[in-house]
Structure 1
Amino acid sequence: MSNAKNTEEPQDSQDSQDSPASRRTTDRTGNTGRSGRPSPMEVLRQARGQLAELTGMEAESVSSFEQTEEGWALEVEVLELERVPDTMSLMASYQVELDPDGQLTGYRRVRRYERGRADAHRSGGR
């Protein structure tokens, strides 16, 4: 019987590699990982995928990531409008909130900027 269980686990792993979203919906408990909760890396992957699905824009980076009492909070940088030269492309920062299981509960754009520009308050008084 232990062989049957072992063969099921790799199949579940393969399914999760094929579609992270389907892994979340097909899991009987709605959770992932051995402890029943997704790991921080799983949360990051889920957040990027869910935001891309909702906005149609791929995340370029995650500039902030923290666990909160309500779940997880991230700030994700996305390319909103590609321009030439690349330093003139429009980027945006999105604040993304997820529940403890890594499901997106809300997002909002908090900043829009040209790729080549630094924040005025972070540039050391320039």
Structure 2
Amino acid sequence: MTAAEAARTGLQQIAGLTGKEPLGITSIQPTDDGWLVGVEVVEDHRVPSSIDLLGLYEVELDLTGSLLGYRRTRRYQRGKGDGG
């Protein structure tokens, strides 16, 4: 499985597991067992959208793309990433 395939699979897995809208891939790295994919999602839509609540998830995939596990690593307000 290529990095691009792992990224797409991780995005699809998080969307299916959480029911949340994925925004995109934030990271991808190979592991001994497969891939670790970081996915940013909208946890809570707010008005205005500049104050949406976002979540960062890590998805662990094996070498064939099967899900090994996932976890939310952060929740934060849009626009307040690492600096906020």
> Which is richer in helix?
1
Task: Name the counterpart of 1:43.
Answer: 6
Alignment check: 8 A CA contact 2:6 2:37 kept: no
| Structure 1 segments unaligned to the other structure (5+ residues) | 1-37
> Which is richer in strand?
2
1:54 corresponds, among 1, 5, 17, to 17
Question: What secondary structure does 1:119 align onto?
Answer: coil
| Structure 2 segments unaligned to the other structure (5+ residues) | none
For the pair shown, the structure with the greater C-alpha radius of gyration is 1
Higher relative contact order (CA 8 A, sep 6+): 2
Task: Name the counterpart of 1:26.
Answer: none
Q: Distance in 2 between matches of 1:41 and 1:73?
A: 12
Change (3 A) 1:48 1:118: closer
Letter in 1 for 2:17: L
Q: Distance in 2 between matches of 1:58 and 1:85?
A: 17
Task: Name the counterpart of 2:44.
Answer: 81
- TM-score (structure 1 length as normaliser): 0.62
Alignment check: 8 A CA contact 2:25 2:37 kept: yes
Alignment check: 8 A CA contact 1:48 1:58 kept: no
Aligned length in residues: 84
Letter in 2 for 1:81: D
Letter in 2 for 1:73: L
Structure 1 outlier segments of 4+, above 6 Å? none
Q: Distance in 1 between matches of 2:27 and 2:63?
A: 17
Deviation of residue 39 (structure 1)? 2.2
- TM-score (structure 2 length as normaliser): 0.91
